[in-house]
Amino acid sequence: MKFIISSANLLRSLQKISGVMSTSNTLPILEDFLFELSEDKTLKITASDLETTISALAQVDMAEDPGMVAIPAKMLLEIMKTFPDVPVTITVNMETQEIELLAGEGKYKLIGHKSDEFPQIPELEGTEILALNASILVNAFNKTLFATGNDELRPVMSGVLCEVGEEHLNFVATDAHKLVRYRRNDVKAGKRAAFILPKKPLNHLKNIMPDDTDMEVIMEYNPTNAIIRFDDITLVCRLIDGKYPNYEAVIPTQNPFNLMVSRKNLINALRRVAIFGSKSTHQVRFKISGQELVLTAEDLDYSSEAKERLSCNYEGENIEIGFNSKFMQEMLNTLDCENIDVELSAPNRAGIILPDTNDNEAEDILMLIMPVMLTQ
């Protein structure tokens, strides 16, 4: 097996797929990239952690003797990062698995492993197919992933719920303290479906998928697995098994009080005030009356406190409610509107955060944040 490839092209492909690899592998072969050179001179490189498998197609300049070999990932990545953009010749002795790299004046040798130990990519049967715009998925992942949970006892909440409907497509994430529902009204499917995508592959896709309105992404799914294809990348992941909680039931519908405030001003004020608050609860008190919002935080252990006033538009009865400033900042940072609407009903009921204006009619985003009990 032998091929010549640009070092920059190879490094680009390796970096696109290396993010799914785990640092604590149960199988030593999972510390390798699988290289597969086909009869038609196509090079396919694969990485896996058993739960997720991702492949990239790389363009080679010359190829002969098709074959498959597993190459140690860490060593290959490290050497590739040191090369300028030069042609690299990789030759594999299929009997001894000895790999030789020639680049410029350098010659490097390492030992690979037999490809038959590498996990097989599952063949999906009975799948449904959804064609999406790449920018829609990148947006959905950016707006929801931060709200996923980390509780091992509730694995369904560690992923993003994808609800495919006849009228819209929903992406939902919650950790029981905060919830995000990102809805697209311009994506529809003939058959309703709901499945939970795991967090790790989505975080990786978010980093390598271009935010391109012209690039099409094909999502294929059945009850156990999902395949996401775009450009030269194919990712297969196992879906999270279980029933997602009824998130619609926790979204309050009667919210008579409405606060409108500058998003940036609120983020900056929260950052300042939170410095003086409790590092364990991150509690910030919101006191809203008339056209004034007063943020207060204190840490009794260190006798520190902060208070800041913001101008706002408010309709409703005077209210004092506590929120986790860390959660609130995370939510506000994912939005890109100038002002936000916060809908409230009582100090012990969840608050709803909505963008004040929406430039994209096809996009609908709702965020929910649970209050924290105020300490007197």
Residue 361: the pLDDT is: 82
Q: pLDDT under 50 in the chain at which residues?
A: none
251-369 folds as: DNA Polymerase III; Chain A, domain 2 (3.10.150)
φ, ψ at 324 (rounded to 5°): -75, 115
What CATH number does the domain located at 2-117 have? 3.10.150.10
Instruction: Quote the CA–CA distance of 39 and 266 in Å, as a whole number.
Output: 59
Write the DSSP assignment of 303-342 as a string of letters.
Answer: TEEEEEEEE-EEESS-EEEEEEHHHHHHHHHH---SEEEE
128-248 folds as: DNA Polymerase III; Chain A, domain 2 (3.10.150)
φ, ψ at 271 (rounded to 5°): -60, -45
Residue 123: the pLDDT is: 83
List pLDDT tens digits, range 169-198: 999 999 999 999 999 998 887 788 999 999
Going by DSSP bridges, is the β-strand pair 106-111/43-48 parallel, antiparallel, or unpaired? unpaired
Residue 376: the pLDDT is: 58
Q: Which helix (H) or strand (E) covers residue 135, if one does?
A: helix 134-144
Q: Where in the chain is the domain with CATH 3.10.150.10?
A: 2-117, 128-248, 251-369
Residue 54: the pLDDT is: 96
Instruction: Quote the CA–CA distance of 237 and 244 in Å, as a whole number.
Output: 18
Residue 83: the pLDDT is: 93
Tokens of 161: 């719920």
List pLDDT tens digits, range 68-84: 999 999 999 999 999 99
